């Protein structure tokens, strides 16, 4: 039950609100600001009486648009056509005479006894906190746990590209952390105070892709009950991350190319052009150059997205990272409530001799499986998932640090495993096994495969 207070005089209530460090704004349904606290006046340089103040222009920022974008990012897809009474929290930067200031804003609708809704906005200045965090993390390379020279070079490239406005194309197999790199690019860019909008192009049905990217207007198609901004508009001023961009159908690639290079588009069902300022970071687990040669991906879009290209090496090319990552995941799992266990040397040798087609994601899952199956607090080969053991021909992992030559059973298991993971492609299987295609063919022939 809500606590009820005795009737307060307006002067006392205003004094209480002015005593709060956070800035407070209250606006009516039409977007007219009806109350400005002392903190807000000081934060934004507003005069004591702001009779003409509107949410669409608070210190040069359209707060109505910011609130709508925050609601959409929070999952309220109908925020444009329907008023939402849920509170949301987002960050926004304001250019002030003393420099750029960053605010964490909490906003929502509050219903009065008269039945009218008022919008409440609470502004907390977090500029100093963000600067302190940046200083504390300045000495840290990234969220990536790595001791590999190739991966350190990738991180250096990401850091170099982040400070620019160049479009970046991240290429590498699944499970390597391309999304984490995209977030690093955004955080290290001049757009870090603006939104990062992530789109998994492979997870959206073809029929909805155009609307998802560019939005639609009311009545554009069956079920379009109101205007809905797309991902490009939601990312205005910030970064748009297109994950698995190679999965886009060709007919949409042409429309995407225009939006990417001209920074303009028309929502579905509208002939009104909308302009945005968006930086594109794209990622693909397939080689887009090969896709261009196979006419599965437009060359002009490939070169437009790939102004700065970064290739992420697979885990099998970074053997020194396997033990490092495995022990890091053990600590993470212990922090989540799993028992503390030790990675045995025999199990580590099995992990080091495995090609990791699922890369870091598969390693994490394998370690979690091993922790569950560990006996006596030690991970042994039998604790590992069956896929990894099958690669070694059943339950016989390498026994010596120097790795004895694989038996025929082990070779057969490795080849069958690689063929299965590469969907029957001998080229892919050979690459996974670290041998050429001719060697793979000879081994298959000798083993009767």
Sign of the Cα pseudo-torsion (142, 143, 147, 148, in order): negative
- Whether the CB-CB separation of 297 and 305 falls below 8 Å is answered with no
Predicted local confidence at residue 447, as pLDDT: 73
- Whether the CB-CB separation of 54 and 67 falls below 8 Å is answered with no
Predicted local confidence at residue 34, as pLDDT: 87
Among residues 154, 147, 151, 152, the alpha carbon closest in space to that of 168 is found at: 154
pLDDT confidence tier of residue 184, bands split at 50, 70 and 90: very high
Predicted local confidence at residue 266, as pLDDT: 85
* Euclidean distance between the first and the last CA atom of the chain, given in angstroms as a whole number: 73
Of residues 443 and 63, the one with the higher pLDDT is 63
Cα angle, residue 57 at apex, residues 51 and 63 outer, rounded to 5° = 115
- Whether the CB-CB separation of 326 and 362 falls below 8 Å is answered with no
- In the predicted structure, residue 398 carries a pLDDT above the cut 50: no
Residue 274, number of CB atoms within 10 A of its CB: 18
Predicted local confidence at residue 83, as pLDDT: 63
Among residues 185, 182, 179, 168, the alpha carbon closest in space to that of 305 is found at: 168
- In the predicted structure, residue 419 carries a pLDDT above the cut 60: yes
Predicted local confidence at residue 13, as pLDDT: 64
184-201: average pLDDT: 91
Q: Which of 22-26, 82-86, 229-233 has the lowest mean pLDDT?
A: 82-86
Predicted local confidence at residue 183, as pLDDT: 93
Predicted local confidence at residue 314, as pLDDT: 92
- Whether the CB-CB separation of 106 and 90 falls below 8 Å is answered with no
- In the predicted structure, residue 341 carries a pLDDT above the cut 70: yes
Q: Which of 121-130, 190-199, 235-244 has the lowest mean pLDDT?
A: 121-130
Predicted local confidence at residue 16, as pLDDT: 72
397, with CB counted inside 10 A (0-12, 13-18, 19+), is buried
233-244: average pLDDT: 92
- In the predicted structure, residue 218 carries a pLDDT above the cut 90: no
Cα angle, residue 132 at apex, residues 129 and 134 outer, rounded to 5° = 110
423, with CB counted inside 10 A (0-12, 13-18, 19+), is exposed
Q: How does strand 99-111 pair with strand 33-36?
A: unpaired
- Per the structure block, which two tokens stand in for 215? 């939005």
Predicted local confidence at residue 301, as pLDDT: 93
Q: Which residues of 255-347 form beta strands (DSSP E)?
A: 264-265, 274-275, 279-284, 308-311, 342-343
Q: H-helix or E-strand containing 70?
A: helix 63-73
pLDDT confidence tier of residue 143, bands split at 50, 70 and 90: low
Predicted local confidence at residue 284, as pLDDT: 93
- In the predicted structure, residue 395 carries a pLDDT above the cut 80: no
Cα angle, residue 126 at apex, residues 123 and 128 outer, rounded to 5° = 145
Condensed to tens digits (0 to 9), the pLDDT of residues 147-171 reads 888 998 999 999 999 999 999 999 9
How far is residue 330's CA from residue 326's CA, in Å, rounded to a whole number? 6
- In the predicted structure, residue 303 carries a pLDDT above the cut 90: yes
Condensed to tens digits (0 to 9), the pLDDT of residues 37-52 reads 888 888 887 765 556 7
How far is residue 252's CA from residue 205's CA, in Å, rounded to a whole number? 12
- In the predicted structure, residue 182 carries a pLDDT above the cut 90: yes
Tracing tokens 């709060």 back to the chain, one arrives at 20
Cα angle, residue 249 at apex, residues 246 and 250 outer, rounded to 5° = 100
Of residues 363 and 401, the one with the higher pLDDT is 363
What is the per-residue DSSP string for 161-180? HHTS---EEEE--TTS-HHH
CA dihedral 364, 365, 367, 371 (to 10 degrees): 140
Question: Do you know the residue count of the chain?
Answer: 449
Indicate whether this model's pTM tops 0.85: no
281-304: average pLDDT: 92
- Per the structure block, which two tokens stand in for 376? 């006596």
């Amino acid at each position: 039950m809500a606590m009820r207070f005795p009737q307060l005089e307006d002067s006392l209530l205003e004094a209480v609100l002015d005593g709060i460090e956070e800035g407070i704004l209250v606006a009516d349904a039409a977007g007219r600001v009806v109350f400005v606290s002392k903190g807000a006046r000081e934060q934004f340089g507003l005069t004591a009486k702001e009779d003409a103040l509107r949410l669409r222009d608070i210190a040069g920022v359209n707060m109505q648009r910011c609130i709508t974008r925050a609601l959409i990012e929070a999952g309220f897809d109908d925020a444009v056509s329907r008023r939402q009474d849920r509170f949301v929290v987002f960050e926004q930067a304001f250019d002030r005479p003393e420099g750029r200031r960053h605010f964490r804003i909490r906003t929502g609708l509050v219903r009065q006894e008269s039945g009218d809704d008022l919008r409440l906005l609470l502004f907390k200045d977090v500029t100093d906190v963000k600067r302190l965090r940046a200083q504390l993390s300045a000495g840290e390379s990234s969220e990536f746990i790595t001791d590999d020279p190739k991966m350190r070079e990738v991180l250096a490239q990401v850091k170099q590209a982040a400070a620019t406005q160049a479009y970046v194309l991240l290429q590498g197999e699944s499970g390597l952390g391309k999304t984490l790199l995209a977030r690093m690019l955004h955080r290290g860019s001049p757009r870090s105070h603006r939104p990062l909008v992530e789109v998994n192009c492979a997870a959206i049905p073809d029929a909805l892709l155009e609307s998802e990217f560019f939005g639609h207007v009311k009545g554009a198609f069956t079920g379009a009950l109101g205007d809905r901004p797309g991902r490009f508009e939601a990312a205005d001023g910030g970064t748009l991350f297109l994950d698995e961009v190679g999965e886009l159908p060709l007919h949409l690639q042409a429309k995407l190319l225009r939006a990417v290079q001209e920074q303009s588009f028309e929502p579905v069902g509208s002939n009104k052009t909308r302009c945005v300022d968006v930086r594109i970071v794209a990622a693909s687990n397939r080689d887009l150059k090969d896709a261009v040669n196979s006419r599965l991906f437009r060359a002009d879009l490939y070169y437009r997205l790939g102004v700065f290209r970064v290739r992420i090496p697979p885990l099998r090319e970074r053997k020194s990272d396997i033990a490092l990552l495995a022990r890091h995941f053990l600590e993470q799992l212990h922090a989540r409530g799993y028992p503390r266990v030790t990675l045995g040397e025999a199990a580590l040798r099995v992990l080091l001799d495995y090609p990791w087609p699922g890369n870091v994601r598969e390693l994490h899952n394998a370690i979690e499986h091993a922790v569950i199956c560990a006996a006596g607090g030690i991970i042994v080969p039998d604790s590992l998932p069956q896929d990894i053991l099958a690669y070694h021909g059943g339950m016989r992992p390498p026994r010596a640090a120097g790795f004895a030559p694989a038996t025929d059973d082990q070779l057969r298991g490795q080849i069958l495993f690689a063929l299965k993971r590469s969907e029957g492609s001998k080229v892919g299987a050979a690459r996974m096994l670290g041998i050429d295609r001719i060697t793979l063919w000879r081994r298959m022939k000798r083993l009767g495969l």
